[in-house]
Structure 1
Amino acid sequence: MIDHPPFALFIRGSKVDAFAVSDQLGFETGMEALAVSLFEDGPETMHVQALFETQAQAEACLDGLKFPSDMESFITQLPDEDWISKSQAGLPPVKAGRFWLYGTHDADNIPSNVPFPIEINAGLAFGTGHHGTTKGCLLIFDKLLESGFKPKRVLDLGCGAGVLAIAAAKALQQDILATDIDQDAVDVTLQNALANNVSEFVKSYQADGFDSPELKGQRFDLIFANILAKPLMGLAPDIAHALAPDGKVILSGILNEQAEMVSDAFTKKGLEVSPQPSLSGWTSLLGQKP
């Protein structure tokens, strides 16, 4: 832990642009960010916050980012206080069906009737469950479980912090494969699986696409794909091919206005796609292979 308040880089703009910047901050710059967070701050806008040990690190990161000129950006040192506790306390628990996502600061406040509590703290990898995309995936998964769906082979594609893989491991008590293009995400997923007592089930690997050794030739009964609209559309042929007959895919990271074109991309590959209720401007889709 550093002995002084960190320097925060803030970048604010449209949801699409902010999400793209958050991907760069988390996975592409190589900078040693202490934490990266993405927040909705209006109907159409979001802001990204990345914390660094030094101002020089924050400035170097900002110089390396690519984003539209109309996005606001600035660097400031946070107040001299327990900023880690403050940051974590700013993330309230999230209920998504039978799943309850919480930070360590809320470990003593888990309702007794929650079947699957999941401890996730803000950090370098994305997907704490406090964003509508992750929550949307969990709600769809919860409904599938409620209907009696019991997938034997499950993939969390682009796992981030591993929330979806951990949720599946807790609910199904079986091996879950989690992959991401970034090694940081893989490491965080494995750490979170250990913290949630499902490390025996969650197998996480760095993999760039379905041609990687970990994914090539495999078929899955359920695929979580909480990424972004454009990458999802590009992956549509591979995802459809990787689904077993009657397999399902939960697609997320999709703005409401992008839902139709993402749905079309998967429908053209032979899947039956149904949109789910929107959460804070984000739509999740459920696709099924005949």
Structure 2
Amino acid sequence: MLLLTALGDLAQIRAAADELDRHDPSPADAVSWFEESPGKFRLEVYVPTKQDAASAQAIVGAAAPELHLKQKRIKAADWVAMSLEGLPAVRAGRFVVAGAHALKNEHGGRTKIWIEASEAFGTGHHGTTWGCLMGLEHYLRAREKLASPAPWGGGRARGRKGQSLTATPRVRPPTLPSPRWGEGSLIVSRCAKAHRHPFTVLDVGAGSGVLAIAAAKCGADALAIEIDRRAAAIAEINARQNKVANRVRVIAGDGARHIAGQHFDLVFANILMRPLIRLAPKLTRAVKPGGALILSGLLRTQAPLVCEAYASRGMILERRIAKEAWMTLVWRKGSKAIGQ
């Protein structure tokens, strides 16, 4: 494994990282960047071979000629060690995600999700995973708000001038409009049924299973699909460790035949831009009318292309959640989405 590093200003580093991400397949196994000191940013590119290093250098050189990449070899064991040692807990809304080393020190009221760093993506530290967890947080808040008792029913009410009025059993409740997620947030349909029964979740590109596990801890029945068999095995272990194995089904493979004809209240797809665009027909079909679709794995600069692919299919963009260079998009499906 080789590590390529460079220092530069924000524009240079972001241009290089974006260009590496646009290449499919990319010579890099992983790309990250962060602010090392005020106004000074560091780019880190991990590549498996010298040939990949040369390709990455050529891409960075074309995108940001001012950057000078330094190269060093690192042991494969160092990759795991860096992941396991000292990772802090990640907090996203009501959730806290951490390994055992950090989770034991969490004493607040947040929902704890035990995820050890591993080959499977999804410890909560990446901006895309955090964004998806925040999207789930908004979805759950909406469900809780809609589950609160309606203002009508038995008891007493006040007339226009303060006189007491007694509600009779014959009074029928009003027809409520379509419920909404607060200010410009997601519409949740059929709220009465949704709160009498568990909601259903599909997690495409599940990685460590963190999103399916988080949803299951809040009452969902989740189907997690992961194309990498090693990652799928890790997701199953994580579901057991978090005591939600009975609510999380993990499938290794593309999962297309398992979701054909099924519809879910909430769908996650935290993958990459090109697969998100390619899978737009299948993902939109998998969402129930009025349901939610949370997409991530894309850079801010890639969001417009993904938005075009989903808006053209009748999906309605309700929320953007940005963190660092990453963007999470929260959609709802109208009752008459195109192509359904």
Indicate the larger mover: 192-201 or 152-161.
192-201
Pairwise CA distance, 1:240: 1.0
Q: Structure 1 residue 14 and structure 2 residue 61: aligned?
A: no
TM-score by length of 1: 0.77
Q: Which residue of 1 aligns with 2:137?
A: 142
Deviation track 1:129-152 (CA, whole Å, cap 9, x = no partner) reads 101111001011101101116562
User: What is the DSSP-based 3-state SS (H/G/I as helix, E as strand, rest coil) of the residue aligned with 1:147?
Assistant: helix
Q: Which residue of 1 aligns with 2:120?
A: 125
Deviation track 1:66-104 (CA, whole Å, cap 9, x = no partner) reads 7562345745245x9x98665423421110000001122
Task: Give the counterpart letter for 1:101 in structure 2.
Answer: V
Choose from 38, 44, 47 the match for 2:44.
47
**CA–CA separation in structure 1 for the residues paired with 2:209 and 2:201:** 13
Indicate the larger mover: 64-73 or 235-244.
64-73
Q: Which residue of 2 aligns with 1:94?
A: 90
Pair 1:263–1:84, CA change in 2 (3 A): closer
Structure 2: any 5+ residue segments left out of the alignment? 6-15, 61-68, 144-187, 189-193, 335-340
Residues 14 and 45, structure 1, Cα contact 8 Å, conserved in 2: no
User: What is the DSSP-based 3-state SS (H/G/I as helix, E as strand, rest coil) of the residue aligned with 1:213?
Assistant: helix
Structure 1: any 5+ residue segments left out of the alignment? 1-7, 27-36, 51-57
Pair 1:15–1:109, CA change in 2 (3 A): farther
Q: Which residue of 1 aligns with 2:202?
A: 155
Choose from 186, 209, 214 the match for 1:167.
214
Considering only aligned residues, what root-mean-square deviation do their CA atoms show, in Å?
A: 3.2
Q: Structure 1 residue 113 and structure 2 residue 109: aligned?
A: yes
**CA–CA separation in structure 1 for the residues paired with 2:115 and 2:211:** 11
Aligned residues with identical type, % of pairs: 36
Q: Structure 1 residue 225 and structure 2 residue 275: aligned?
A: no
**CA–CA separation in structure 1 for the residues paired with 2:24 and 2:305:** 22
Pair 1:170–1:11, CA change in 2 (3 A): farther
Indicate the larger mover: 199-208 or 97-106.
199-208
Q: Which residue of 2 aligns with 1:4?
A: none
Deviation track 1:241-262 (CA, whole Å, cap 9, x = no partner) reads 1111111100111211222221
Written as runs of structure 1 = structure 2, the 5 A alignment for 1:1-290 is 8-11=1-4, 13-15=16-18, 17=20, 39-42=32-35, 46-49=43-46, 59=49, 67=56, 69-71=58-60, 72=69, 74-77=71-74, 87-114=83-110, 116-148=111-143, 150=194, 152-172=199-219, 174-208=220-254, 212-290=256-334
TM-score by length of 2: 0.67
Residues 248 and 286, structure 1, Cα contact 8 Å, conserved in 2: yes
Pairwise CA distance, 1:15: 4.1
Pairwise CA distance, 1:64: 10
Q: Which residue of 2 aligns with 1:54?
A: none
Q: Which residue of 2 aligns with 1:34?
A: none
**CA–CA separation in structure 2 for the residues paired with 1:119 and 1:16:** 34
